[in-house]
Chain A
Amino acid sequence: MLILPELVVLGSALLFFAVSLTGKPQPQLLRALALFCGLAVLACACATSRMEGLLFFTSYSISPFSQLFKVLLAGTFIFVLISGQRLTSIAAAVQAEYYLFLFLSVFGLMLLVSANELILLFIALELSSFALYLLVPMRDDSGGLRPQMEAGIKYLLFGVIATGFMLFGMSYLFGLTGTTSLATMFNAVQQGGMPPLALVAFLLVLCGFLFKLAVFPFHFWVPDVYQGAANETVSFIATLPKIAAVALLIRLMQLLPPGQEPFLVLFFAVLALTSMFYGNLCALVQDDIKRLLGFSGIAHAGFILLALLTLKEEGYGLAMYYIGAYVLMNLACFLVLCAIAQKGENLRIADLHGLSKEQPILAFILATGLFGLAGIPPFAGFMGKFLILTEALNRGHLVLVVLAVINTAIAIYYYLLVVRAAYTVDATAKSTETPPPSLLTTAAGITLVIAIIIVGILPAKLIALASDVVQRLG
């Protein structure tokens, strides 16, 4: 019962494997099936959300923390599936495999948030990553330039390097502590004081997750993968792995014995600031909307690090709140992008011209997502930023906070450029009219808008919940 969501995900993946063997399945049927399986996963995740327990010789822990993240992953996955309702940029012949790998990746991420053991952690991370490495080049080749191949290779190579760092760190941790169990690992270290090498090893392990979160020196894959992969795939890459990465960063930070705070703060502060400045400044000059969102994601990762570097449970809870808000707003943007891109093509900012006249609902959803990402109240992005800034200033990081708010001012410009394209510029002789979005897309979009506003104006319960599950983790 405890691992019901994981079992359902795995079952769904196997189901799609079976379907992929049957020749040519109906695309409509596949999508309905995927959505059904996704809903089943969400239902199971919700049903098991209050359970606790240790499985498989304590290597697998079911805690409120892991279960909350599983609900978040499953819920996000539903919206990703809805964004991919048309899935125009994946060849019909491989759509069953596409879903197979999507579910496998979700499976890996769900294992990841429950992993209590270095080996399991590594396997789960690789399982989720390799599925994604395969999803990226699955895009239908329309232009003949094969950017998806380049993107896939880049993703793979950078990912493998990050994993290499991580494995290297893990080997040191094992060598220093003699155990691979996360729970008991640092107990051994603590008795003799934390050796500097253990800290280095620990940071190397973090690299794997900083890569997933696209923090500054680990971000090189972001723009090209975002541009090269199909819109639907990117909406997955931009959301689910980041949720899991935040979960694992919190989990690992929680384990760290005290004594190294100044160095850790400095380390994270440098990464946070460089991520913010790099992401925001690069986003200013982007023309491709997916690239723009990729760079904005780097900047937002910097904000999450700002929450983590408070090194307190409250800060970790806020990081959870922030990633949840970020995912909601990103989903809103990608939902609209997938709905507008008729043939699954990449959209440039100029392609949005006249959107507010032709598709007022889509334009509204997009604007909500973008204003949210920009951090304008009353949307969730503002509350997340505000809470993190308050917490960071409370810990005395004044300079960091000032530089972070300057970054939000920079960021407004490029978000506004996209909104401007959708709202103020009229379409210039468009060849194809965008058909109205499907009912499902509209409903999902309006749900997201409402969620973004509710999460933004009534955060009290959510941050209480988040800091509660983090506290019970320790």
Chain B
Amino acid sequence: MNQLLINSGFPWLNLLVGLPLAGALILLVFGKDTISRQLTLIITLVNALCTLPVLHGFDSSNTAFQFAHIYTWIPQLHINYTVGVDGISILLVALTTLVMPLCVLASWTYINKRITAFMVCLLVMESAMIGVFIALDFVLFYIFWEFMLIPMYLLIAIWGGPRKSYASIKFFLYTLAGSVLLLVAIIALYLHNGTFFIPAMMWREYGQLFQLLIFLAFFLAFAIKVPMFPFHTWLPAAHVEAPTAGSVLLASILLKMGTYGFLRFCLPITPDASMLLATPLLWLSIAGIIYGGCTALAQQDMKKLIAYSSVGHMGFVTLGIFVFNLHGLQGAMLQMLNHGITTGALFLCIGMIYERNHSRDLAKATGLGPYMPWFATFFTFFSLSAFAFPGTNSFIGEFLVLAGAFAHKPALALAAVPGALLAAAYMLRLLQKVIWGGVNNPDQSKLSDLGLREILVLAPLLLFVFWIGLGPQPFLDYMNPTLNELLQKLHEWQQGQQGMSLNWIF
């Protein structure tokens, strides 16, 4: 267990989890609506800064879990508080801490009732989200994973749109019902291994049926979170009704947890079952890409449009994961980041429109371009990024995924390509209408352009759009060793298990 962990000095990761939680407690006790915004912004900014030493100190040539810390928690069941990051999780942690201050800024004027409670929810969310990515103990992971539902539920339920009641309860029930069997799977793995330490569960000999059942329990939980095609129905409702910050958190971070789960748990813990079921999963991903694209094309509600486009984008991620080659995995990881940046930014943009004209209706937001030049600029770039225009971040990600899919099975890549086309169609439709519109645009001349605060919210995301788009190597460097090792072990495993996998007709 020790060779998997590098214990290095200051517990930065504990700080990342603990600081927002402590901030939430302070706000809960002393919070006044007048200062809670500022305080939350400071806390989230400090947390973002605290990510820098982690990013800097991370040894990307090493595939071990770094910045790790272990504390005994429940000795009777061998449960420890274990945290650490590797190449897969570190970028997601960084994404989380990057997005949080932007969410606070984006809610600066939009949230005007019960501000303190809102900020407490945001801070608790941050803590739980970071916790999910850094937990190396399965119980700890599960606690963060489930706990997150409460603040997210409240974010939608209290500050949401008109159908918040329905959307919030659907979100909660769907995700929770999906993850109850995950708990059984976790316990079963514990009873098999005698530990809840996640790396100790990987690459073990389990029975074929055992693996299959574990995989299915994992799959249900993660596929709902992603969401993969037939399990996606909670997503549009939740996205549409959530306040802007809630939509951004959902899109940028929460959806990543599903794909993170596939990478972290399904592949290493149940490799046989993953390979056995990869083909149907790949086709489900394709179905998600096409379905998400087609549905997005038909939406009049801008938030719904972006929500359905998320289904498509996340389809690319799962596609990349289950082709089991380096390009696919790299693409999937990058696409997770890209989706977090781009879709988060698009939700922020829609939120800015909503703050001005109080509608998410596409028809009421046409022809904004002449009156909001700053907005038009940002929105154009983010839209280009959303359909993977060369030079933007998503191009690299989608290209890698498609390359991986070609290497795996050309038919698969061919089936995914229409998805990329659809993305261009629905994003250009949105872009065209919002910026230029038609001959009967509503009168938008009263709308003000973006203020400094709003520009500050969008600028960092735009920076990353081009950074990843033009020079993705630093990001790839972080993840490459871990992904390489994962693949290598997967192939070794495959060699050792020749003849056990079934041939599917595809």
Contact = CB atoms under 8 A, between A and B. Distances in A.
Interface of A: 314, 356, 360, 371, 376-378, 382, 386-387, 389-390, 393-394, 398, 401-402, 405-406, 408-409, 412-413, 416-417, 420, 423-425, 457, 459-460, 463-464, 467
A276 B426 CA distance: 48
Interface residues of B, number: 36
Nearest to A387: B77
Contact of B169 (A420, A460, A467): A420
B150 A371 contact: yes
A393 B191 contact: yes
Given A409-B177, A409-B180, A416-B169, A424 B164 contact: yes
A371 B124 CA distance: 16
Contact of A409 (B75, B147, B154, B176): B176
Contacts of B183: 386, 389, 405
A2 to B, nearest CB: 31
A356 B158 contact: yes
Contacts of B164: 424
- Per DSSP, chain A at the interface is helix
A376 B146 contact: yes
Contacts of B169: 413, 416-417, 420
B459 interface: no
B157 interface: yes
A459 B74 CA distance: 7
Given A376-B147, A423-B158, A360 B177 contact: no
Please indicate which of the listed interface residues B143, B149, B181 has the most CB atoms of chain A within 10 Å of its own CB. Answer: B143
A420 B165 contact: yes
Contacts of A377: 142-144, 146-147
B173 A412 contact: yes
Nearest to A374: B176
Interface of B is mostly: helix
B187 interface: yes
Interface string B173-206: 1001100110110011011000000000000000
Given A406-B180, A408-B180, A416-B173, A423 B154 contact: yes
A394 to B, nearest CB: 6
Contact of B76 (A386, A405, A463): A463
**For A386, A393, A406, which residue has the most chain B Cβ atoms within 10 angstroms?**
A386
A377 B182 CA distance: 14
A389 B147 contact: no
Nearest to A371: B150
16 contacts: A377-B142, A377-B146, A378-B147, A382-B143, A386-B139, A389-B184, A390-B190, A401-B184, A408-B180, A412-B173, A413-B173, A420-B157, A423-B157, A423-B158, A464-B76, A467-B76
Given A382-B146, A387-B77, A409-B177, 16 more contacts: A356-B158, A360-B117, A371-B150, A377-B144, A386-B183, A389-B187, A390-B77, A393-B187, A394-B191, A409-B180, A412-B173, A416-B169, A416-B172, A417-B169, A424-B160, A460-B73
A371 B158 CA distance: 16
A407 to B, nearest CB: 9
A413 B143 CA distance: 19
Nearest to A368: B150
Interface string B475-489: 000000000000000
Nearest first, the 9 closest Cβ-Cβ pairs linking A and B are A377-B143, A405-B180, A409-B177, A424-B157, A460-B74, A424-B165, A409-B180, A377-B147, A377-B146
A408 B146 CA distance: 13
A417 B170 CA distance: 11
A409 B175 CA distance: 10
